[in-house]
Amino acid sequence: MRPHFHFTPQSGWINDPHGITYRDGGYDTFFQYVPGQTVWGPNCHWGHARGRDLFSLEELPVAIAPGEGDGGIWTGSLVTGADGKTRVFYTSTSEPDIGIGRVRIATPDDAEWISWSKGDFVVDAPAGLDLIAYRDPFLRQDSDGWRMFVGAGDRAGTAMALSYRSDDLQEWTYEGVALERSSAETADVWMGALWECPQIIDVDGRAVMVSSIWQADVLYYSGYAIGTYEAGRFVAERWGRLTWGDSYYAPSFFRDEQGRPCLVFWMRGIEDLDAGWAGAHSVPYILSIEGDVLVATPHPDIEQYREPGATGLAADITWTPDAAGLRLTSGGEDAATLELSGAGELIVRIGDAVHAFPASGEVRVIVDGPVLEVVSRGGLFGAPIAPRGDTLTVTAGDDSDVTVHPLAR
């Protein structure tokens, strides 16, 4: 069973989205891809897809593959410079030490970005930090030039975003640690021993660092910091957790057609191994800041797929949580149930698994075949589900405030 509105590979394994770009009336997106298998492997490629929006992506040929000095093509960033030239900055890895990558450039051979040529290695891990991990370059343009931030973790358990500066996107100077935090610190939220895909961005006039939380080869969740940023240095004022559950990881920042700040996540556990594919991407989210909280809201492009009276397993549901709860049923069995606890948490039950995460105000519930996403101002919860039939029934208490928008193409 495939979702209709969450991107999945035709075959093989996908994980991190990256390089999401709006141009020429549609979106290009790239992603880590391992063809021919349904488990991750270090020989990642850069897959490529395009669509008029991020709910209707069509997979294209592999953009960048291992070889020419690369054992694996891992996560990176895409920018277009003042010269009009598009460049990808990706993590090049080689065995046996795949944890310490190198940053390399690739450029497109054609206007459709189908074929790419590899260029120079431009950044290596700095000496003297005793690093165990180094990867995932993210670029932004500042008033004094380009900045690149690379995720890193040292042997002492400190997660870091390292800063580099360039005038021309070719020659880079290491500036030092942009932001760091020990895995021993737990104030506000625990942020792990390595930040994968750390991205320093601007949201509603505030500086935000968003990343994935890693420790000892365990992938946890997505967290963030809100603070101030200037000239390659970020000062955190508050730390927060953005996602709950075992599915969301590797958020990728982009700006949409209107320039709004957005994220897309890799969703783990969405797969059909018998059909030969594994991995999905979340719906896109628009970011905002309310008080000192980073809030993610489903991108309004999803609303064009609302079709009253449609039947199937996809719906966009608006619900005000209460103790009566919300039941999502397919084939006469519960696919998931949600209810508000006495402590004000949202309790999500999927089979025998019970999850809890903060609820605040109105909740959006997006169901798309085997995918469940629950959206609150308190954060995001995502998980795979297993519908038993080909239609979805939504049931709420008599006094519940709930609106169901079926989704269809």
Residues annotated as part of the active site: 16
Q: Are 159 and 193 in contact (CB under 8 A)?
A: yes
SS3 193: coil
SS3 1: coil
Could you tell me which residues are beta bridge partners of residue 340?
346
In whole angstroms, how far apart are CA 218 and each of 49, 137, 214, 249, 327? 28, 21, 6, 11, 32
DSSP conformation letters of 86-106:
EEEEEEEE-SS-TTB-EEEEE
Strands 243-244 and 379-384: parallel
Two structure tokens written together for 103? 């940053």
Two structure tokens written together for 60? 């294209």
Q: Are 256 and 283 in contact (CB under 8 A)?
A: no
Could you give the CA distance from residue 99 to residue 341 in angstroms, rounded to a whole number? 41
Two structure tokens written together for 81? 């410079």
Could you give the CA distance from residue 127 to residue 176 in angstroms, rounded to a whole number? 11
Q: Which helix (H) or strand (E) holds 245?
A: none
Interior angle at CA 14, CA 11 and CA 15, nearest 5: 165
- From first CA to last CA, the distance across the chain in angstroms is 16
